[in-house]
Structure formats: C-alpha cells, structure tokens
Structure 1
C-alpha cells in the first residue's frame, strides 16, 4: 500500500507523541508499505529526539510560518501542509492518508480536507482528545478550535482511539458518530526491552515529562514515609519539564537528596537500560482530564521490562493496570507509600506482578497494533 502521513510532531521534536508516530511509520514500512511523511519545518530548540527512520520512508518538510514559535506554528502550518499533500497526492496514487489528532494543532484538518479532495480515505488517530481547562481569551480560542476539530473528526473516514473512555469523549465532545470510531491502543517496540535484566530490589523509577498532571509532588510526599521503613529505597526520576525545579526544591527542603535522583532528559535509546533494573514503575499520580484513562508510552515500557506499576485510580485503562494483578491503583500519598513499602518488602510479589505486566503488554506490540490499523482500511 502507498500511505501518506501528515503529522505535526516529528523528530527532532521529543515527546511521547513523536515516539508513537515514528514507531508507527517504521512499522508501516517494515510491513512492506510505501510511506511518505509531510511535516512542518520547525525551529525546535528543545530536547532532541533523532530515532532511526526506515530508509524507505520519504520525509517532506514544508515551509512553516512562525516556525520558531511552536504553538503559533501549530495553527499556521495547515495551509502549506495541505498544499503539499495535494501536489504529491495528484501525482501519486495513495491508498489513504494517516494523521495524528491533538487539540492544539490543525494538521488533521489539512489531512482530512486533502483526503476528501483526493477522493481517498483518511484515518485519524487520536493522541490527546481534550484541552486542559482555560479561562478568558484562551477559553474563547479553544471554543473556536474545538468547533474546527469537531468538523475535522466528523469528516474523517475512520477515527482511532486507544480505549472506550476516549471513544466516549470523541462522541460527546465532538459529536462523532460511534460507528466511525475504532478502538486501537498505542503500542511499544518490545524488541528494545530486556526482561532478563537483574533487578535492583530497592529501585523505584519514574520516566516521562515532569508536569503537574503526572503528580510527582505526590510521590515526593510519600517518600519520607517509605524511607522511614526502608532507608535504602532509591527513587530515580527520568525526564524534564515545567515542574522539575519545583520538585528539586521539595527534595532539598525535605532532605531527600540521598533517596531521590533526578537524571533529567535522556536519549530514547537509553531508556531501556535506565528502567529495566528497577523493581517498580510509577505511572500518573494525579487524576485530571488529561490523565483520565490515558495510556502514556512509558507505562507500556515499564510493562515491557516486567515492572509492577503503581498509578492513581482512574488514570490508566483497566487492561493496562489491573489492581493487585500487575500493580496497584492508589488514592493518595499515604496509600502510595503503603503500596511501595508492601512491594519492596515482598520481592516475590514484585516478580509475579512483573511477569503479569510482561504477559499483558504483548497485545500492545507495535507489530500487532499497526496490523490492526491497516485492517481498518479494509472496512472502507
């Protein structure tokens, strides 16, 4: 098949969404499909993500207004993206257009409109479904964008969501017909992760962006209770973000420097070695509109290296974290501390829950997920 992919987030931009799209297009190509990617040419000054892109994939970067201001570029890039898609679409018989939906950029609008004009199907994979709450002018802006995004989703041939909760949001918030929506989860490249690594029986790991929704302040609140019972417990935090300096201050104020290590942002290829020797993986610890039933890639990576997971109740889907089977849902900092202490004191329970995580993650292999995406095209 010939697949045209239109996306906003693309290397060297870093983040979970970029990992998702690069894994998907690489798997598309690996399965024998011809893939062309159109993405805006952005001036990205953040952490760099430079994964290996299959040599059979053609990447076209379009001229983008306000290219050094990502939030503005996200809304201004659609015209050139669509123009380029139309130009190459007329000279190449693509089977479908694939795009990733996020509320704050308009590339899906370009993708769906181009597909309609080229008379080919469009598949829209929903990354994030809703905005954080806003007020004032920003609230008005989001209402306008929601109207645009709703039309985009309703016009797409097929909408892919990761779980039933997101499906309900797409139906209720954007008025999309249920029959247009299919549930296909995010995935993980299991070949990158070693489940035979020796575990550090006292290491607890968090990997991901350090922002409010992740609830790392709740973890820091729990740590004093943990080290009172288990003094040599070690908490390793991977990643960076807007909350990082605030979190470091909390660690210093509470004299937790010997128990907490901030490793900062690390390269994608270094993630497996940094999480594989841990005993517990920490998922989202604060329930918000953003984290409700979401599926961070890092949680699948914890599972890929056989870690039990601890997360706030209501954040992760039930087929990712099954309470008391491959980890625990918790409700507050005290509950979190109790579950960490429980696991660190019972290595066999850690091992058994890790085995369950490893079994449960198999269905999230990108090989299976991407085959499911391609199967969707046979329904048109």
Structure 2
C-alpha cells in the first residue's frame, strides 16, 4: 500500500475513471493514472470509447475496462450535440453496470466535456465521492477555436464552475490550471493538486535508429500528438514549406505521428502544397515503432500556436521528446517554457517562417543539439517523469479514501 503516514486501511476501495476524449489505453495519461492506482492497491474500473476491434469489456494490467462504441467524428453543431448526448448516456449506463458488478467509492471524471458533474451529483446521493481531473480549459478551447466568447463561452464557464463545486478534489495538469481552479472555480487550495502528464520512462527509451525512416534525407524532424484544429499541425506544414521553398533545404524529412479529426484535411493540405516528398503521416503506431521513430529523429516539433488555451496548457509531446533526448523547436508558450526550459528553441508565437529558420539553425548545430538533449533527459528524470506525478496521485486517493491511524 502507498505510504501516507500511519497505517492505511484501504481494503476494497474502488475508483471509477471516466474518459470520453480518447479510448484507453491509448489515452496515456488516463492509463498511467489507472495502472498506478492499481499498483498502489486500489481497485480501478475505466469507462471509455471503444476503437474498432476492441472488446466491450476487458481486464488489462489489472484495470477493468468498459467500452462503448465510438460515435463517428462530427463537425456540425447538431451532430456534435448528438455525439455528446450519445457518449453521456452510454457512460451513465455503463456506470450503472460497473456499480452493480464491481462497485466503486469515487468517480474520477476527466474532461472534456464538463458535464460529468451531473453524474457526480447523482452518485453523491449514494455516498460516493467525485474527483475532477481537469485536462482542458473548455472556455479557452472555445475562444481559441472560434475567436470569440458570447453566450456559448458563458455556458462553458458555468459548466466548469459546476465541476469545481461538485468535486471533493480537483486534479490540475499544471500550476496554471491549478490557479484557474482556485481563482475562477473558488476551490480551496488544499483541495487542488497538480499531477503532471509526465512520461513513463519504462516506455520512453532509445533504441537503435532506423535510417530508412529518413527516406534518403539527412535529417528527420518529428511531430508526435493529436491532430485537432487547435494543435498547430497546419502551422507545421506551412513551416515545412518554408524549409523547402523559402530556404531551399531539401534535406529535411518531416514525419507526423498521431491522428485526429483534421488529419485528412492536413494530408490533403500537404499534398496540395507539393510536399509529399518531405512530409508523411503515419497515423497511430505501436510503441515499438514509436520508439524507433523518436530514436531516429534529430528534432522534436511543437507547433502549437499561442492562444488562450495553448499558452497555459502542458503539451505531452514536449516532455516525451525530452525523455527521448530530442531537442525541441516550439512557439514561445508559458507552460511549454516551464516544462522544456533549455531543451527547446523558442520561436515568436505563430511565426511559421521563423519556425522554419530556427529549425534549420538547430539542425546545423549538432553541439547545441547535444547540450539540449542532455538537459532535457536530466530534467525529465529529476522533475517531470511520471514517477513523480504518481506519488502525488496516490497520496490524493490515500487521503480521500483511506482511514489513517
């Protein structure tokens, strides 16, 4: 059992984790949380969407996973409401199934969306507790995507407040999110803890490079992550065009790893710009292949544009690049600068030409890349690896659920 001072009595305590944004175990943060809690002696169930080919129920690494069929990707507002309603109803139904089969003492709800407080309040009637794991600032996400506020923004702020008011504890991904919970959400500071999305060093380690991934080029620059409207992959593609056309550098291969709603649009964009020779997409790939890509790459790319959301969000890919010893080129964002420190080159926000220029300068300076690589590895090992976050998470649940004497 985890240590938290005194003798802990946690026998039989169970946690139900709810996530809608990504399936598990693909959602790495949620999966590391779930497995860490199992290793600490808690019983853990997870409800998430189901990828094609996944079983509706499975026990993986000691975690009991319940899945519902994923709703097809949507774009229109009405379609989005249908998708949201479907996912919410399926989650509620499966929570009843979990309650009957396995039971639980606390719901650990990951946003988006900011509506599972309704589930929390329902189960509080039966003595359950509610923990809000704050992954995204949805009001800022809306403002960043649509460039305005208005009534929808006000509704999102109201929903966020209900999350904070319902929660017995709030988990923030960084200090910026913690301040939102305290200042905007009115949460008592001692009820908010920071659990960073650090890499699992058992998963991120270098292997033998595969030169064929460079496709005959001298350098390989990698993007790893989600491909949504706010993730900046379109900025990266335009920066790649500057590398090739503005600066005449045809010796850089770009590999884009991951998936998301706008990936087809991004592939079409790269093709229309005549970049097929320099830019290719892999989709989601297994861990072994990912390690090979990251071990072969010379630079990691973080093209997230500066906006109200990205500036205060911690990017998983940044610390994952650092764990693999990759120097980084990134737009200058508050939380990225905190995470990466001297492991990144910082570019004037949203300036694609400068992004390309700084990338070329870094590729042409192997000594600097080596210094940045060593700094990044050291910072992750000493401060940002998941092992540091795991202790905070386990301590939270120890205090919330376990009697100490």
Which residue is equivalent to 2:42? 34
Which residue is equivalent to 2:231? 214
- Greater RCO structure (CA 8 Å; 6+ sep): 2
1:191 corresponds, among 202, 208, 215, to 202
- Residues 44 and 196 from structure 1, CA distance in 2 versus in 1: closer, same or farther, beyond 3 angstroms? closer
Q: Residue 321 in 1 paired to residue 321 in 2? A: no
2:87 corresponds, among 57, 74, 77, to 74
2:372 corresponds, among 353, 374, 380, to 353
- Residues 111 and 274 from structure 1, CA distance in 2 versus in 1: closer, same or farther, beyond 3 angstroms? farther
Q: Provide the rounded CA distance (Å) in 2 between the counterparts of 1:334 and 1:176.
A: 42
Secondary structure of the residue aligned to 2:340 is coil
- Contact 2:226/2:258 (CA < 8 Å) preserved in 1? yes
Which residue is equivalent to 1:59? 65
Q: Provide the rounded CA distance (Å) in 1 between the counterparts of 2:232 and 2:182.
A: 28
Secondary structure of the residue aligned to 1:240 is coil
1:106 corresponds, among 103, 106, 115, to 115
- Contact 2:17/2:47 (CA < 8 Å) preserved in 1? yes
Q: Provide the rounded CA distance (Å) in 1 between the counterparts of 2:315 and 2:55.
A: 17
Q: Provide the rounded CA distance (Å) in 1 between the counterparts of 2:313 and 2:55.
A: 23
- Residues 233 and 49 from structure 1, CA distance in 2 versus in 1: closer, same or farther, beyond 3 angstroms? farther
Which residue is equivalent to 2:263? 244
TM superposition shift of 1:198: 4.3
Q: Residue 25 in 1 paired to residue 42 in 2? A: no
Q: Aligned residue pairs: how many? A: 363
Q: Provide the rounded CA distance (Å) in 2 between the counterparts of 1:230 and 1:176.
A: 51
- Residues 35 and 378 from structure 1, CA distance in 2 versus in 1: closer, same or farther, beyond 3 angstroms? closer
Which residue is equivalent to 1:276? 295
Structure 1: gaps of 5 or more residues = none
TM-score normalised by structure 1 residue count: 0.81
The C-alpha deviation readout for 1:229-282, integer Å capped at 9, x for no partner, is: 532111111123343343334433433222212223323553222222111111
Structure 2: gaps of 5 or more residues = 1-9, 73-81, 212-217, 401-405
CA RMSD, Structure 1 to Structure 2 (Å): 3.5
Q: Residue 290 in 1 paired to residue 309 in 2? A: yes
Secondary structure of the residue aligned to 2:312 is coil
Q: Provide the rounded CA distance (Å) in 1 between the counterparts of 2:210 and 2:286.
A: 21
Q: Provide the rounded CA distance (Å) in 1 between the counterparts of 2:257 and 2:394.
A: 34
TM-score normalised by structure 2 residue count: 0.76
TM superposition shift of 1:143: 4.5
Q: Residue 128 in 1 paired to residue 131 in 2? A: no
Secondary structure of the residue aligned to 1:307 is coil
- Residues 75 and 240 from structure 1, CA distance in 2 versus in 1: closer, same or farther, beyond 3 angstroms? same
- Residues 5 and 366 from structure 1, CA distance in 2 versus in 1: closer, same or farther, beyond 3 angstroms? farther
